[in-house]
Chain A
Amino acid sequence: MSEERTDFNLSQFNAGDLLKRYIVTQVFKTLDDACKKQETISDESFNTSFTTRVDMIESLLWKYTPLELRETIIKLYNDLDKKIKEIDEDVKLSQKNKIINKKNIAFEYKIEVFKLLTIVLTNSPISVEYAEMEVMGDFKDLIENIRQPDKVKLFTEVST
């Protein structure tokens, strides 16, 4: 019996944020399990446990996914649809081979989507990062920038 993986390199998270750690651990564990089961979920479908779970994680994280990544993910799906359509239209392939090919191509695309989602996950409010601040010199710039009624944000707002 293989050992169950419990450490997902989560040392970046504060020990106090146990709930967040738990959520992130569950996401990674679910995917880890799913990757072990690569069989298709039905004879008709090319979807596997892995691709289904990537979809689930995607819906969980969509709220925190920035526009740039959303566009990239949508583009990946469009490409995938195109590839699936090409395979469907290929008359030379048998139905069984069509499903095998679709399964392989879907896996490739979904793994790419998953890689992007891991970045979203580690940059969402679920994760915590430590930041350092620095005040050096004559403080003139700092004083000028802080004495204003508008909130000074960590990031400059980019209009969407």
Chain B
Amino acid sequence: MIDVFHKLDFEAIYPAPTPKRVAESFFNRLWRKLHVDNFSLLLTFYGKHRVGKSLTAVDFGYILDPTFEENLEERVVYNGRELIKAFTKIKDQNIKGGAVIVDEAGSGELSSQRWYEEAAKIISAELQAVGYLNPFIGFVTQNFSFINATARRLSQGVFEVDRTHNEYSMIKPFWIENNPWTTNTYRKYPIFCEKRNNVVSNVFKINRIKIGLTPEPLLGRYIAHSQAYKDSLLEQNKQELEIIDFQKEQKKVFVSGIDAIVEEVYTNVDDYMTETKQGNLRINEGLIRHRHELPWRDSKLVKALVEQKQNKDSDTHT
């Protein structure tokens, strides 16, 4: 009986790539894209609240850009001004492959959708300005649909972040491909197909990235930085509520002001009367406007209210 099959060590002939090695190959590809092939890199990280998408984006920045760690507070941005500032600094310092993380700002000064529209405009412009430095830009959003079509087309990769454990997040990586003939975009897993011993081995699709907690002290610094932003958001919301209250109060004062004017005009109605060509007397809104410094709209309103009051009075007398 021939039995070569069971004597062969297939694991030695076809070793399975270790998850660590896959990570090294994958990140080396990204690094080479920025530093060897001279491309820019725009990735989008999306997922539910608290799954770790911002931290994942920070991890990517930390892994790919040696200057990211020391400039973390300037590179994780929450609004357009900070974004331009980060790019300006990258340009001034001539940093190649500088990472900037555009963190979600849905509750900030603009709505989520408008924020990403703004960001897309700024990024498009900045890419022209600092494109030669091949920056890495990471978008972070809760929902990929928040990002408008232009920004979506800018993204080269989309990473779907999820978390079932406190120690790590799970990411599904997708590359975005454009079909220029139909203007459609589609996504596909990163693929590795390599030669081993001069023979092409099978195709490996990377369908999951397990990424651990951001190392200290980066984690602490990011938390402090994002907390400062969240605190400023709270303060901003508080101020907005105060403005709303103030406006309500103003409205009340204004309403009572109109009522007082109506009362005044009604009591001294003769002072506001003028004679028409036909010899009839009528309330003149021009006089109301002049004496009480009201806009035309409000003086007409006062006249209408006074006339209504007079009509009511005449009804009760009859």
Q: Name A's B-contacting residues (CB within 8 A).
A: 14, 63-69, 72, 75-76, 79, 108-109, 112, 115-116, 119, 122-139, 142-143, 145-149, 151-155, 157-158, 160
Q: Is the CB of A142 within 8 A of B215?
A: no
Q: In the complex, how many residues of chain B place their beta carbon closer than 8 angstroms to a beta carbon of chain A? A: 54
The residue on B at minimum CB distance from A122 is: B202
Q: Would A149 and B59 be within 8 Å (CB), given that A72-B8, A135-B212, A136-B168 are in contact? A: no
Cα(A63)–Cα(B197), bound, Å: 12
Cα(A127)–Cα(B202), bound, Å: 6
Q: Is the CB of A133 within 8 A of B202?
A: no
Interface: B181 (CB within 8 A): no
Which B residues lie within 8 Å of A127 (CB)? 202-203
Interface: B225 (CB within 8 A): no
B1 to chain A, nearest CB (A): 8
Contact string against A for B residues 195-219, beta-carbon threshold 8 Å, 1 for contact and 0 otherwise: 0111111111111111110010000
Interface: B256 (CB within 8 A): no
Cα(A91)–Cα(B215), bound, Å: 79
Complex interface: stretch among B14-22, B244-252, B277-285, B306-314: B14-22
Do most interface residues of chain A lie in helix, strand or loop, or is the interface mixed?
mixed
Cα(A130)–Cα(B172), bound, Å: 12
Among residues 1 to 30 in chain B, which have CB atoms less than 8 Å away from a CB atom of chain A?
A: 1-5, 8, 10, 12-17, 19-29
Task: Return the contact of B194 from the options A115, A130, A154 (Cβ within 8 A).
Answer: A154
Cα(A70)–Cα(B207), bound, Å: 32
Q: Is the CB of B200 within 8 A of A134?
A: no
The residue on B at minimum CB distance from A137 is: B212
Cα(A3)–Cα(B117), bound, Å: 60
Do most interface residues of chain B lie in helix, strand or loop, or is the interface mixed?
mixed
Which A residues lie within 8 Å of B205 (CB)? 14, 128-131
Cα(A123)–Cα(B199), bound, Å: 11
A31 to chain B, nearest CB (A): 16
Cα(A110)–Cα(B140), bound, Å: 57
Q: Name B's A-contacting residues (CB within 8 A).
A: 1-5, 8, 10, 12-17, 19-29, 31-32, 35-36, 59, 62-63, 66, 168, 192-194, 196-212, 215
| Most interface-central of A68, A127, A133, A142 (chain B CB within 10 A) | A133
Q: Would A149 and B196 be within 8 Å (CB), given that A132-B210, A136-B212, A155-B15 are in contact? A: no
Q: Is the CB of A134 within 8 A of B203?
A: no
* Known pairs A72-B8, A148-B28 / 8 extra A-B pairs, C-beta < 8 Å: A128-B205, A129-B203, A132-B206, A146-B28, A147-B66, A151-B32, A152-B21, A152-B24
Cα(A135)–Cα(B30), bound, Å: 15
Which A residues lie within 8 Å of B210 (CB)? 132-136
Cα(A72)–Cα(B197), bound, Å: 16
Which A residues lie within 8 Å of B198 (CB)? 67, 160
Task: Return the contact of B202 from the options A115, A123, A132 (Cβ within 8 A).
Answer: A123
